Amino acid sequence: MSQNNLSKHLWTSQFVFIMAAVGSAVGLGNLWKFPYITGENGGGAFVLVYLGCILLVGLPVLLSELVLGRAGKANPVQAMQYHAKNNKASKFWTFIGINGALGSALIFCFYTVIAGWAVAYFADSLQGKFIGIDADGVAEHFSGLLASPMQLLFWHTVVVLFTVYVVSNGIKSGIEKAINFMVPGLLLILLVLLGYATTTGGFSQSLEFLFTPDFSKLSWGAVLVALGHAFFTLSIGMGVMMVYGSYMKDNVSIGKAAIWIAIADTVIALLAGIIIFAIVFANGMEPGAGPGLLFQTLPLAFGDMTGGWFFGTLFFALVVMAALSSAISMIEPAVAYTEQNWGWTRGKCAWSLGGFLWFLGIGTILSFNEWSDVHFFAGKTFFDSLDFLTSSIMLPLGGLFMAIFMGWVLSKEVRENQLGFSPVLDAALMIALKWITPVAVIIVFASNLVDSSN
Ligand code: PHE
Ligand code: NA
């Protein structure tokens, strides 16, 4: 059957594609969320469960998304339209694409605000505002930022302008250029910080915390958190990997690319954990500090250390680069859809969508101050509603249906063409997609709904 070929762009090389996908995967999920949920859930045993989720559910769904994207050669909506028709399946499957383009755009509306905190912290650290700060000082600093709509709006605007500017320039002269310096920069900073972490007194304690599993500390709820995070951290279920896959050349090995993306994302999350907990333990602080771990515990620790100004500023530069390279990928599905479907220029698509999402992001900003008592959905603020709708509903649903489509609907011929797996490997993938992923996601999904209705 004929190829879709709506996409006019292709990545320059396999290496650039992998860097862009790693840039999308590695973000606030790795540096902010992974360390604090690991801290809250007791360390080692949680890490082990998380690794299992990445391998058994994350990797198979990532492979599926890349296959559906490259074989569909278009934005997620039109790629799924094409696959449905090609496999004589119901039009319903287009839902995967719509859910993805919409969901990733909605994540953008709060991700850019939190990325804005990181930019603000980078600027503050650079100016030496954390030097010698005490516990009350960091708490005040954090709550002061959240209480100020104008400050939040300023940094949110900076993040959105940068992101939309990059995306408006297209794949080769926009995304690739940004990725080419951000991803290597990110890796370099991470290595410097790792070296620094070994010199702090908390290094071995950190390793012990992360890699000695104590299953008595593991709850059922923690398993669900680990699975949900496996989706978020790999940027899967949202059409992001699908649209990045649609720009992939046909001779690139999807299997190898997926393995590299999963390994890079996992290793970087673990390194971030090692670094952060080394600093936490070296200063006698608590690993279970929750979402404030990155924004309160760390400035406090850095403020008290020799070299803290330099390494603290470097650390927030790392968070900023990781967050921006993820934010870029979040509007790409919707931008590609409007570009390929409405026939607008890329610049017009990026700036009008970006403007609209920037505006919605103001709702996120107000959730932390003026609207902190305004509830939108099941007693949740605007920010919590967006987070719940995307992370707990749209993302697992997207992943579930991608796995089902790839496992039960997509022709074997297309799959073999795209993957070129050995029979044994293919059989293993099919078991994961047909059974393991659907069962796991349905359990998570159901328990999330039960949770939120209590
Ligand atoms: N994977 C990114 C992170 O860990 C977040 C993300 C989610 C990016 C969904 C794109 C789509 O921060
Ligand atoms: Na990630």
Rounded average pLDDT over 163-189: 92
DSSP code for 293: I
Rounded average pLDDT over 357-380: 94
Could you write out the DSSP letters of every residue in 48-111?
HHHHHHIIIIIHHHHHHHHHHHHHHTS-HHHHHHHHHHHTT--GGGHHHHHHHHHHHHHHHHHH
Band (234; pLDDT cuts 50, 70, 90): very high
DSSP code for 454: -
Q: Convert 406-422 to b/e letters by CB count within 10 Å (16 or more is b).
A: bbeebeeebbeebbebe
| Ranges 68-77, 160-169, 203-212, 279-288: which has the least confidence | 279-288
* In contact, 155 and 117? CB cutoff 8 Å: yes
pLDDT of residue 451: 66
* Tokens 């999308």, located at residue: 24
Residue ID of nearest Cα to ligand 1 atom 7: 235
| Ranges 102-106, 175-179, 305-309, 385-389: which has the least confidence | 305-309
Mutate which of 37, 232, 243 for ligand 1? The one with the most ligand atoms within 8 Å of its CB, which is 232
Q: Which amino acid is at 278?
A: A
pLDDT of residue 453: 56
Is pLDDT above 60 for 98? yes
Could you write out the DSSP letters of every residue in 391-424?
IIIIHHHHHHHHHHIIIIIS-HHHHHHHH---HH
| Averaged pLDDT score across all residues of the chain | 93
Supply 222's token pair.
């923690």
| Separation CA 293–CA 296 (nearest Å) | 6
State the distance from the centre of ligand 2 to the C-alpha of 154, rounded, in angstroms: 25
Nearest-Å Rg of the Cα atoms of the chain is 21
DSSP code for 210: H
Burial class of residue 122 (count of CB atoms within 10 Å of its CB; 0-12, 13-18, 19+): buried
pLDDT in tens, 3-25: 677 877 899 999 999 999 999 99
Instruction: Tell whether the torsion through CA atoms of 85, 86, 92 and 94 is positive or negative.
Output: negative
pLDDT of residue 413: 96
In whole angstroms, what separates CA 445 from the centre of its chain?
19
Closest CA relative to residue 270, chosen from 433, 106, 9, 34: 34
pLDDT in tens, 51-66: 999 999 999 999 999 9
Supply 342's token pair.
């409405």
Which run of H or E residues covers position 340? helix 308-342
Which residues make beta-bridge pairs with 377? 380
State the distance from the centre of ligand 1 to the C-alpha of 259, rounded, in angstroms: 17
Band (1; pLDDT cuts 50, 70, 90): very low
| Separation CA 23–CA 32 (nearest Å) | 15
| Ranges 223-227, 358-362, 370-374: which has the least confidence | 223-227
pLDDT of residue 7: 79
SS3 of residue 255 by DSSP = helix
Closest CA relative to residue 31, chosen from 313, 310, 316, 221: 316
pLDDT of residue 452: 60
State the distance from the centre of ligand 2 to the C-alpha of 236, rounded, in angstroms: 10
Rounded average pLDDT over 393-414: 95
| Separation CA 29–CA 115 (nearest Å) | 11
Report CA-CA distances (Å) from 422 to 255, 409, 415, 427: 11, 20, 12, 9
ipTM for the whole predicted complex goes beyond 0.85: yes
Pocket of ligand 1 (CB under 6 A): 24-25, 27-30, 104, 107, 232-233, 235, 238, 240, 326, 329-330
Share of the chain above pLDDT 90, in %: 77
pLDDT of residue 285: 85
Band (444; pLDDT cuts 50, 70, 90): confident
* In contact, 312 and 130? CB cutoff 8 Å: yes
* In contact, 303 and 279? CB cutoff 8 Å: no
* In contact, 155 and 361? CB cutoff 8 Å: no
pLDDT of residue 392: 82
SS3 of residue 355 by DSSP = helix
The CATH classification number of 14-453 equals 1.10.4160
Supply 410's token pair.
């997509």
Is pLDDT above 60 for 2? no
| Ranges 139-153, 181-195, 258-272, 289-303: which has the least confidence | 289-303
| Ranges 219-233, 309-323, 340-354: which has the least confidence | 219-233
| Ranges 74-78, 109-113, 278-282: which has the least confidence | 278-282
Is pLDDT above 90 for 403? yes
Is pLDDT above 60 for 83? yes
State the distance from the centre of ligand 2 to the C-alpha of 423, rounded, in angstroms: 30
pLDDT in tens, 124-136: 999 999 999 988 8
